[in-house]
Amino acid sequence: MANFETREVSTDLLILGGGMAACGAAVEAAYWAKQNGLKVTLVDKAAMDRSGAVAMGLSAINQYVGLKDGQNTLKDYVDYVRNDLMGITREDLVANIARHVDSSVHLFEKWGLPIWKDEKGAYVHEGRWQLMINGESYKVVVAEAAKNALGPENIYERVFITDPLMDGDKCVGAVGFSVRENVFYVFKAKAVLVAMGGAVHVFKPRSSGEGLGRAWYPPWNSGSSAYFTLKAGAEMTCQEVRFIPVRFKDAYGPVGAWFLLFKSRATNGMDENYMETRKPELENWVPYGKVKPVPANLRNWLGMLDVMEGKGPIFMRTEEAIANIANQYKDDPKGYKAKMKELESEAWEDFLDMTISQAILWAASNVAPEEAKSEIAAAEPYFIGSHSGASGAWVSGPEDLQTSETKPVYFWGYGHMATTPGIFCAGDASGASSHKFSSGSHAEGRIAAKEAIRYIVDHPEAPKVDAAKVEELKAMLLKPLDIYAQNSKYSSDPNIHPEYIRPKMFMFRLQKIMDEYAGGVTAQFKTSKAMLEKGLVLLSMLKEDSLKLAAEDLHELMRCWENIQRMWQAEAHVRTILFREETRWPGYYFRSDTPKMKEDWLAFANCKWDPKSNNWEMIKRPVMYINQAL
Amino acid sequence: MPSFVITEKCDGCKALDKTACQHICPNDLMVLDKVQMKAYNREPEMCWECYNCVKICPTQAVEVRGYADFVPLGAAVTPMRGTDSIMWTVKFRNGTLKRFKFPIRTTEEGKAVPDGGFGPGDANLKNQMLFTEPASAGMPTIPSLKK
Ligand SMILES: Cc1cc2nc3c(=O)[nH]c(=O)nc-3n(C[C@H](O)[C@H](O)[C@H](O)COP(=O)(O)OP(=O)(O)OC[C@H]3O[C@@H](n4cnc5c(N)ncnc54)[C@H](O)[C@@H]3O)c2cc1C
Ligand code: SF4
Ligand code: SF4
């Protein structure tokens, strides 16, 4: 076995990840830990200042409810999320996050995040729930508060987490390795808070050359959360609910400002507006087809129908939107000039704050938005339960937001705890509570952290860890290094070897399977039972070959494990699409053999992998609402 | 090639205790070649063009060239990040130049206080309030189900 030191860290609460949810968790946990004499440790694969989906910055806070000023009610938010997700939502979780999210936003502002204000000092909204920010340093500011709360001695950066440490059915820590030195880490804890984000590169991206990394979702989130909770035997939910954003084509720059602030339309290659010409299609998806705003996946679907009929490309009508604004100022040329300057700066900041690639692409293509329209397109599928997807672990709701009907099914002692005792989840790691975005993920991190501390206070016993099991995990984690070291000399080209596979080709193999059989871009987001079953056969061989992954160095060892994590996310996804015998989110995926939404599938499709038997169990759970009591 | 390092400008962060670009890259792409004392992007096709290595480099040695498989040549987007604002220069393929300046934070770097000045609030381990609530929420209490 490769020569690695084993380093043991004992703590009370272990926070996995350093993104929005983990930073919220850190601030909250540090407070309660101090009150109760407990220790909190945080582990991130990268540097907290710039890790996770907000690493580049953001130009908007997408969840702000405005409760204190009576702008909206909790019920308003819950209704919006339920409809956007075609009825499949845990309202108890959504409401719990929504009642705490504003306080996260107010904290961000105090910490130094510039939030746009109007003349009266009120926040400037991009849309009903969205606030405009100067967000280049969003993550830096949020991480700063988290780091100041925890103290540097409790933070481990550049440590990559893979598997849970288990004591029977209970989680008592995690293992991983440093990507900077030959050290295998064993973190022992009384509770673990999982917040390692979602997954990208499970499906083949549209750009597969140098632009492979320019997916909408950042290439460094590889399904670590889903893998961790699955391996711990936790029940998972909404694994079929992937997210496909429609963005400016190729660089995936945001479209929110154009649609919401500048009131732009999108039209097809024949100048038709699919939101109008395809309106009758919405009847097929009632009641959700009738709600305002039209659910994200249905908007996708109407555009996809045009593209599938060869009516593309789809364009954002930037030139028209700007002409409309000019028209409003037709008697006031000076006012127009000032307005245009303001809009130009806003439009570019939208890109420069969160998708700089789009600024490069527009500059390189000499795009003048006032003169010509720009192409938009549906990206490939991602797993991001905090955004407009919903995949994640099945977690308990809070006790006070249950009705007598929901309580027996949605509550088991501690809010945001998975079905595996000792595991708490937040952000992309927890499912069925979408539309939390950056701010809601932070709020959920805080909620989950407080609940985790309450659990630790109730369950103070020291974690029991089996030393033999730890050795077994160490050997498993380091195996790709051994395989490479033992075999690479055999072939004159270390990339091509009959006994092993390197992580990049392994990833391409996974992406090809998912793209073609599970409804990726190439398959025009369509799949069926027969396709999925074939996909599962190919995935099972990929899984066997994952034991033959080879790594030349620490960086490549991380790549091996990232791709194993992606593969588990893929399997959970395929099995769940197969289980749900209907089509519910046509603009996310379309099951050609069951093309309609069905009454009896107004239910959660959950899954669970059993560590003892290596079997998957598929579970249908009831959807129950609390909105009438909110 | 996504981010790349200009050989002449990179000094390997000799004067710092860690290699800045290597420290910050969220995808572990930047590495220092210790023989040449020059950094490079080891997996350009896994780069998100997040610009974090560009913004942090003390010698402005890192730049980004748009992905060759879909971006025409000739553009450059260059940031200068200060302590409270960032300046961007956008150079178009046709030579057009645009400049923007945006604020990045309203407080002194490093000084974020976890409670944001709201104080610990009314939370205890049994109620639904979080640290700093209800003051940070701006409400007298945190709402629950109607009874
Ligand atoms: C392109 C894009 C645009 C967006 N725009 C907006 C917007 O405008 N407004 C908004 O509010 N929200 C927006 N979002 C959503 C927002 O970014 C997410 O909801 C939020 O970041 C989720 O928080 P999280 O903590 O779950 O994950 P992340 O913030 O992604 O954090 C994941 C963390 O886990 C770490 N990690 C991952 N794997 C491991 C491992 N194996 N071991 C250790 N650590 C690991 C990562 O380094 C990172 O620290 C956007 C997202 C994307 C991708
Ligand atoms: S641009 Fe971002 S992803 Fe690319 S090398 Fe620099 S820090 Fe890493
Ligand atoms: S941060 Fe700049 S100077 Fe330092 S190693 Fe990287 S490229 Fe070279």
Both B75 and B59 in one domain: the answer is no
Is residue B59 lining ligand 3, measured as CB closer than 6 Å?
Answer: yes
Write down which residue in B64, B92, B114 finishes a domain.
Answer: B64
State the closest ligand 2 atom to the C-alpha of A219, by its place in the atom list counted from 1.
3
Are the beta carbons of B17 and B6 closer than 8 angstroms? Answer: no
Mean pLDDT of chain A: 97
Both B74 and B130 in one domain: the answer is yes
- Please tell me which residue, A73 or B16, carries the higher pLDDT value: A73
Candidates B3, B10, B18, B34: which one to mutate for ligand 3, based on the most atoms within 8 Å of Cβ?
A: B10
Q: Could you tell me the CA-to-CA distances from A527 to A88, A498, A518, A522 in Å, in that order?
A: 21, 33, 6, 11
Q: Measuring from each residue's beta carbon to the nearest atom of ligand 1, which residues come in under 6 Å?
A: A 16-22, 43-46, 51-54, 58-62, 160-161, 195-197, 216-218, 221, 224, 354, 386-387, 427-428, 437-439, 441
Pick from B1, B48, B114: CB nearest A210: B1
Return the pLDDT at A343.
86
Both B53 and B98 in one domain: the answer is no
Return the pLDDT at A405.
97
B34: CB partners within 8 A, 6+ apart = none
- Provide mean pLDDT across the span A6-29: 98
Both B103 and B56 in one domain: the answer is no
Q: Is the peptide bond before A381 cis (omega within 30 degrees of 0)?
A: no
Return the pLDDT at A210.
96
| Contact: B113, A148; criterion CB under 8 Å | yes
- State yes or no: is A82 an active-site residue: no
How far apart CA B48 and CA B24 sit, in angstroms, is 13
- Please tell me which residue, B10 or A326, carries the higher pLDDT value: B10
| Contact: A207, B67; criterion CB under 8 Å | yes
Nearest CA to ligand 2 atom 2: B50
The string of pLDDT tens digits covering residues A185-233 is 999 999 999 999 999 999 999 999 999 999 999 999 999 999 999 999 9
The string of pLDDT tens digits covering residues A93-110 is 999 999 999 999 999 999
Which spans in A112-204 are helix H? 138-150
The encoded tokens of residue A579 equal 């289980």
Q: Which residues in chain B have Cβ-Cβ distances shorter than 8 Å to A74?
A: 143
Pick from A51, A100, A136: CB nearest B102: A136
Return the pLDDT at B48.
98
Pick from A67, A555, A629: CB nearest B139: A67
Is residue B39 lining ligand 3, measured as CB closer than 6 Å?
Answer: yes
Looking at the 3D structure of chain B, how many domains does it have? 2
The encoded tokens of residue A348 equal 């570019």
Q: Could you tell me the CA-to-CA distances from A410 to A91, A108, A405, A430, A604 in Å, in that order?
A: 10, 31, 9, 14, 12
Phi and psi based region of residue A623 (left: phi greater than 0; alpha: psi -120 to 50; beta: remaining): beta
Burial of A342 (0-12, 13-18, 19+ CB in 10 A): exposed
| Confidence at A596, pLDDT banded by 50, 70, 90 | very high
> CB atoms < 10 A from the CB of B59, how many?
15
Both B60 and B77 in one domain: the answer is no
Write down which residue in B64, B86, B111 finishes a domain.
Answer: B64
- State yes or no: is A353 an active-site residue: no
- Provide mean pLDDT across the span B122-138: 97
Both B83 and B55 in one domain: the answer is no
- Provide mean pLDDT across the span A435-457: 98
Return the pLDDT at A341.
87
Return the pLDDT at B1.
61
Both B60 and B73 in one domain: the answer is no
- Answer whether 0.90 is exceeded by the pTM: yes
State the closest ligand 3 atom to the C-alpha of B60, by its place in the atom list counted from 1.
2
* pLDDT beyond 90 at B139: yes
Residue from A125, A247, A416, A580 carrying the catalytic annotation: A247
Write down which residue in B23, B47, B64 finishes a domain.
Answer: B64
| Confidence at A439, pLDDT banded by 50, 70, 90 | very high
- B145 vs A: CB within 8 A: yes
- Please tell me which residue, A256 or B22, carries the higher pLDDT value: B22
Q: Is the peptide bond before A622 cis (omega within 30 degrees of 0)?
A: no
Is residue B62 lining ligand 3, measured as CB closer than 6 Å?
Answer: yes
Q: Domain of B15: which CATH number?
A: 3.30.70.20
Candidates A23, A196, A554: which one to mutate for ligand 1, based on the most atoms within 8 Å of Cβ?
A: A196
The string of pLDDT tens digits covering residues B65-121 is 999 999 999 999 999 999 999 999 999 999 999 999 999 999 999 999 999 999 999
Residue from A12, A32, A44, A62 carrying the catalytic annotation: A62
- Best of B52, B80, B147 to substitute, by most chain A Cβ atoms within 10 angstroms, is B52
DSSP A427-479: GGGB-S----HHHHHHHHHHHHHHHHHHHHHH--PPPP--HHHHHHHHHHHHH
Return the pLDDT at A340.
86
Give residue B113's domain range. Answer: 69-147
Both B58 and B91 in one domain: the answer is no
Both B94 and B123 in one domain: the answer is yes
- B6 vs A: CB within 8 A: no
ipTM: 0.98
Both B74 and B116 in one domain: the answer is yes
A170-178 and A183-188: which strand pairing?
A: antiparallel
Ligand 2 centre to CA of B19 (Å) is: 14
Pick from B28, B86, B120: CB nearest A555: B28
How far apart CA A89 and CA A346 sit, in angstroms, is 34
Both B41 and B77 in one domain: the answer is no
Least confident of A232-236, A361-365, A366-370, A569-573: A366-370
- State yes or no: is A201 an active-site residue: no
The string of pLDDT tens digits covering residues A556-570 is 999 999 999 999 999
Both B23 and B60 in one domain: the answer is yes
- Best of A154, A350, A360 to substitute, by most chain B Cβ atoms within 10 angstroms, is A360
- State yes or no: is A216 an active-site residue: yes
